[in-house]
Chains A and B, each alone.
Chain A
Amino acid sequence: MFVSIAAPHDVAFLTSIRCRDPETLERLVREYLPQIVRAARAAGLAPHEADDAAQSTFITFLEKAETFEGRSHVRTWLFGILFRKVMEMRRAIGRDRETDEIDDVVESRFNANGSWIRPPQAADAELYARQVREGIDDCLETAPPKQRMAFVLREVEGMTTAEICKILEVTDTNFGVLLYRVRNRLRECLEAKGVRR
């Protein structure tokens, strides 16, 4: 295992990438291709689409390496390219809606005082986990691409809010709204399938 690949302002790394140094390229690909493929799959692309999107991400990275100034981590830059490709592939550009029907669904669960009217049902945790595993694939399909990507970067890739905001080009508050909507959408979808805790 090597450490410290392309931290911000890593001049030597930037120079190597711009010169297309084979060793640096190999390190970059070995370190990040599996992560990029995983995120593309989790974002909803079929296996062959995820492979294509990941390859295309690195090709774009190399083509644009001249303009990469090292102001962010190279991983952030790669995931930013991937995010835009996923949005293109899922034809989601320009569909960033201000309103979302899930907000009304969640709102309807509370009374005017903000207390639950229709609370989540309590049941066995192991049973719930199994039911989630069975239903989650279908429910993920109901999430808009940007919400799903926000969720994937947080839950699957375990990234910080600051890094995700750079990748998705959103504010902290926008990111909070994306997470709130996608998590409630998944929970509601699972509950509608009869998955209750």
Chain B
Amino acid sequence: MIGMPACKDVAQLVASDELTRQPWHKRLGVAMHLLMCRHCRAYAEQMRAIGRSVRDLYSNSGAEARVDELLEILKRK
């Protein structure tokens, strides 16, 4: 069915990453809704900002992983 989704539907599709799996007319409806609804735009932008923040927070974790120590352990196994 072609029509504009409600804010709640937009929020659900944005937060669950299910938008890309929707048919074209639904994606178009969401895109139009986002153009017109500042609340949903704020919501979507907050979700993106949270993702970016967590990505940045852990981007260097693991760089100091103890590769040689693990290789020694695995050799003995």
Contact = CB atoms under 8 A, between A and B. Distances in A.
Interface of A: 20, 22, 25-26, 29-30, 33-39, 41-42, 50-51, 54-55, 58-59, 62-63, 106, 110, 113-116, 119-122, 125, 128-129, 132-133, 136-137, 140, 151-152, 154-156, 161, 172, 176-177, 179-180, 183-184, 186-187, 190, 197
A129 B53 contact: yes
13 contacts: A20-B74, A33-B62, A35-B62, A42-B57, A51-B65, A59-B77, A151-B54, A152-B58, A156-B54, A156-B55, A156-B59, A187-B47, A190-B46
Interface residues of B, number: 43
A197 B42 contact: yes
Interface string B44-71: 0111011111111111011101110111
A120 B53 contact: no
B70 A58 contact: yes
B37 to A, nearest CB: 8
A38 B51 CA distance: 15
A35 to B, nearest CB: 6
Interface of B: 6-9, 11-12, 15-18, 21, 38-40, 42-43, 45-47, 49-59, 61-63, 65-67, 69-71, 73-75, 77
B70 to A, nearest CB: 5
A132 B50 contact: yes
A183 B47 contact: yes
- Which A-B residue pairs are the 8 nearest by beta carbons? A114-B6, A38-B62, A176-B16, A119-B39, A114-B8, A34-B62, A37-B62, A180-B16
A161 B51 contact: no
Contact of B12 (A38, A180, A197): A180
A177 to B, nearest CB: 7
A20 B74 CA distance: 9
Given A156-B58, A197-B45, A190 B50 contact: yes
Contact of A55 (B58, B62, B73): B73
